[in-house]
Each structure stands twice: as structure tokens, then as C-alpha cells.
Amino acid sequence: MTGPVTGPVTGSGTPPPVGPVDATRIPRYAGDATFARLPRFDDVPDAEVLVWGVPFDTGVSYRPGARFGPGHVRQSSRLLRPYHPALDVEPFAVSQVADAGDAGINPFDLSAAITAVEDAARDLSGTRRRLITIGGDHTIALPLLRVQHERHGPIAVLHFDAHLDTWDTYFGAPYTHGTPFRRASEEGLIDLSHSTHVGIRGPLYSRLDLDESEKLGFTAVHARDLVRQPIDTVIDRVRGRLGDRPVYVSVDIDVLDPAHAPGTGTPEAGGLSSRELLEILRGLDGLNLVGADVVEVAPAYDHAEITGIAAAHITYDLLALLQGSHR
């Protein structure tokens, strides 16, 4: 990792964090495609925040291909820069951030894969590290929430998605990308009074889908609400629901309209714009964010990196929020 940028000396006697590769020395299109051209975890003494890939899509129900998502998002993140003006934070200078690479996940055994994600996330987290995970399909949210629950107790989940992902089974299978939040609720991982969906839209199997989602602990901000309500009103609704609880943010890229994210497995018309989603995320500044994932990027259906660039910026904003909440 030639030519890193380092953050300011803190005065504590500890060396400043190693930042991204210096774009004035190595052009952005050159060098290793780590997330935002950050150092690899193996190349720094330690890190407090890790960006980690889980290339897994055995749980998908329609288009496959999200297993290639982590690499695509990293490639699309080359233009990210060190200062976030909207949140007034330099996320790579607050504490050490590194790219932890990809997990080795069994593509043939769903149960083994879920266990492997859980074990790897627990190992990477240790006692203090925070993870932002790039998927991969949404099945991975379940093992990630198990690890968060071990540290924080019931988690307030902020779930951005076109779909509820609280279905019971699909073809009789209890673990798919459409079931993680039902399983998480059943396992007691979710704070039933402080969790919410944002961006829900499209046809459902029945009215019972919405009723069951509420029983499992989720309120919903539907995509149509963003047409009728100002963004600030939506942000107030979300913040009011989350309160001061430990918050885990899970972003399925199909929360965006296919015009903004064509590269995904289950696209639905009428979604959020990338600008709307980023503004809602920025409105979470100051909350107790403990971790996040960005999932369901399927590059085979992407065009001109539209989806990858959106996912990279979402990941960057989540990273800025995570760092800002621990300044």
C-alpha cells in the first residue's frame, strides 16, 4: 500500500491512523482495490473499524450473483475521499479503519455458511472492533445480528429494503434472504420496540405479511411515504423509533429504485433515489450505531457501476456515521 495518507496526530503518543492511498501519488484507477483504497487489515498493527466482504448468495430466491458484490463495491469505491462534508468528519482519521478482505464461505451448504459468517464476524469483532459488512445476500444479516446481540443485547434494527424479509419459509426453507429478520426476532436478537423498515414497496403475498412484520417488532416507513412527507419528517420518525438504543443498520441495495440500482437480485419499481437514502442516513448522526451491512449488490445486472457506486457511497456514509458516533 504505497503512499498512505495519515490522519492528524492526536497527542496521545499513539501513531495516527493509516489512511487511504494518496491519490496524488498513485492514480485512483491503479493499485489494490480495497474499499476506498484503505490499508488491508494485515498491513496495520490493529484496527477499530473493519470493512469486510461476505461473498455469498446461496440464499437468493430470484437472480443470483450477489456473491460478486464485495469485489464490485470495492472497485466502485476508488473515488471516495477522506473528508465527509455533510457529517463534518474525516472517517479514516478518527480511528484506524482497514479492509478485512473476504470471508471464505461454503457456497453449497446454507447452514454451514451461516455458522461460518457468525464465527468469522465474532472473531473479527473481538471485544471492541466494529464491522461494516458488504454482501452477499441478505441471509447474512442473521448471523451478524447474533454477534451484535452477544455484545449489546437486543438490537434496534434499521432495515432499508424494498421487502420485509420477515417471511417464514420459502420452498420450506427457514433460512433464505427473505427470512433473516423473522429468525432474528424469534431468537430474541431484535429490540421489538425500536426497530423499523424503510423503503418497503411492491406487491406482497397477503395483508398478513404486514401484520406479521409488526408482531415481529417492526414498524414500516413505506416508499410512498417519501413522496408525501419531507425527508426531515421521515428522519424524525426513524430517530424517534430508534431512540437511544444500540442501532444496527442493514441496507439491501434494492431499497433504491432500479433506476438507481439496477444491479440487484429482486428489483422493485418505485424505490428511493440514492440521494434520498443518503440524506436519511446522514440524519442518523449522533445515534448509537454499532454496526451495519450493505447487501444484495449483483454486478452482473449493473450498468456503468451505477449500483456499485451507490453501494460504495452508502458504505462510506455508514462508516462516517460509525466513526462520528465514537468521536
Does residue 8 register a pLDDT over 70? no
Does residue 6 register a pLDDT over 70? no
Question: What does the block give as the cell for 243?
Answer: 431512540
Between 156-160, 183-187, 322-326, the lowest mean confidence (pLDDT) is in 322-326
- pLDDT (tens digit, 9 = 90+) per residue, 84-105? 999 999 999 999 999 999 999 9
With beta carbons less than 8 A apart as the criterion, state whether 323 and 49 touch: yes
Report how far residue 282's alpha carbon sits from residue 228's, in angstroms, rounded to the nearest whole number.
20
Does residue 327 register a pLDDT over 80? no
What 3-state DSSP class applies to 54?
strand
Q: Domains in the chain and their CATH numbers?
A: 4-324 (3.40.800.10)
- pLDDT (tens digit, 9 = 90+) per residue, 283-313? 999 999 999 999 999 999 999 999 999 999 9
Does residue 14 register a pLDDT over 80? no
With beta carbons less than 8 A apart as the criterion, state whether 129 and 50 touch: yes
State the pLDDT confidence band at 15, using cuts at 50, 70 and 90. confident
- pLDDT (tens digit, 9 = 90+) per residue, 219-265? 999 999 999 999 999 999 999 999 999 999 999 999 999 999 999 99
State the pLDDT confidence band at 13, using cuts at 50, 70 and 90. low
Sign of CA dihedral 132, 221, 264, 79: negative
Q: Is 101 exposed, middle or buried (0-12, 13-18, 19+ CB in 10 A)?
A: middle
* pLDDT for the residue 12: 52
* pLDDT for the residue 154: 98
| Mean pLDDT along residues 157-179 | 95
What is the amino acid identity at position 252? D
